[in-house]
Amino acid sequence: MRQGPELCCINPECFETLVQRLTAAVRNIGVERLGEPNIRRMMQTLGVKSLKDIFSLTREDILRLEGFKDKSADNLLREIAGARKVADYNLLAALNIQGIGVNIARQLLNLFTLDELAAMDELELEKQNGIGPERAKVLVRELRAQKVFIDELRSCVEVIDSKGGGGQRKTICFTGKMPEKRSYYEQLAEAHGYQVVDSVSSELSLLVAVDPGASGGKLSKARKAGVAVVALEDWLASLGTNTETKQDDSGETEESEQLTFGF
């Protein structure tokens, strides 16, 4: 089936479609370094089909995968454990509903809880900014179709509600070249109740920098505005994280910072 310039498979049980959907879901839930190659191995070797299956993996399961040894298996388990605390909009985005990415999910869940959203009809939803009739129709259909899966997933994770918290949460911004992808730290901040922003202003609560003593646009603006600046390692320590060995997607390891969570 052709959708615009793209040729798409319409079989929902197609293996390649399931691989891509699960890879996107894992990324949205916050397990960034579990990329497509290992997702593919998990599906073929362990029979993994959904996020619920990812959260059910044991150390013994992971050690059955090619390229994984004791340390890399432990690192992956820690990262999966860290993803058990997730913002509601990341969970919604992880459902891979057409037209409902992180930004739209965040917008909706700042106004409604997941349960309130699931109870709404198309007419109510299409009135929301950026939704319209088509997105409303798909959202209602998919939330109903995936209800059992959503309930199972919510039993595996701690979901942080966004509704009513947008204006009350502390804002945080990051600057400098960091050991992990910037999105990793942003998701970690969201999971701990911060609202991530891209720029520095006098309204910013906290600027996290790799090197607080460096000069630069965001650091200079923060100093002039009287915004608190903290080193990345100190901010991570305040969340109860520590350092270990980083695992790449092949299962091999390299010396780097590995964030772990206090769960």
Q: Same domain for 74 and 204?
A: no
Nearest to 76 by CA among 57, 48, 97, 93: 57
Asked if residue 262 belongs to a domain, the reply is no
Asked if residue 157 belongs to a domain, the reply is yes
**pLDDT given at position 136:** 94
Which tokens is 136 given?
A: 């409303």
Q: Same domain for 158 and 179?
A: no
Amino acid at 129: N
Q: Same domain for 219 and 241?
A: yes
- SS3 (DSSP) at 156: helix
- Tens digits of per-residue pLDDT, 79-101? 888 778 888 888 898 888 888 98
Q: Same domain for 176 and 158?
A: no
Q: Same domain for 150 and 222?
A: no
Q: Same domain for 54 and 92?
A: yes
Give the end of a domain, one of 163, 198, 233.
163
Q: What is the CATH number of the domain that holds 200?
A: 3.40.50.10190
Overall number of domains in the chain: 2
Q: Same domain for 32 and 104?
A: yes
Q: Same domain for 147 and 192?
A: no
**Vertex 141 angle, CA 138 and 146, to 5°:** 115
Do the Cβ atoms of 62 and 68 come closer than 8 Å?
A: yes
**Vertex 178 angle, CA 172 and 179, to 5°:** 130
Asked if residue 259 belongs to a domain, the reply is no
Q: Same domain for 20 and 67?
A: yes
Give the end of a domain, one of 101, 132, 163.
163
Asked if residue 261 belongs to a domain, the reply is no
Record the pTM: 0.57
Q: Residue 37: which domain range?
A: 1-163
Q: Same domain for 186 and 61?
A: no
Give the end of a domain, one of 114, 134, 163.
163
- Tens digits of per-residue pLDDT, 3-24? 454 445 555 567 787 888 888 8
Angle between helices 36-46 and 15-29 (to 10 degrees): 120
Tokens 């965001």 found at: 218
What distance in Å separates the CA atoms of residue 220 and residue 135, rounded to the nearest whole number? 42
Strands 206-209 and 228-231 come out as: parallel
Q: Same domain for 46 and 86?
A: yes
Query: Strand 171-175's sheet: what is its strand order?
Result: 195-196, 171-175, 206-209, 228-231
Q: Same domain for 225 and 159?
A: no
Rounded to 5 degrees, φ, ψ at 205 are: -85, -40
- SS3 (DSSP) at 108: helix
For residue 257, the 8-state DSSP code is: -
- In percent, the amount of the chain with pLDDT more than 90 equals 22
Asked if residue 263 belongs to a domain, the reply is no
- Tens digits of per-residue pLDDT, 101-140? 888 888 899 889 999 999 999 999 998 888 999 999 999 9
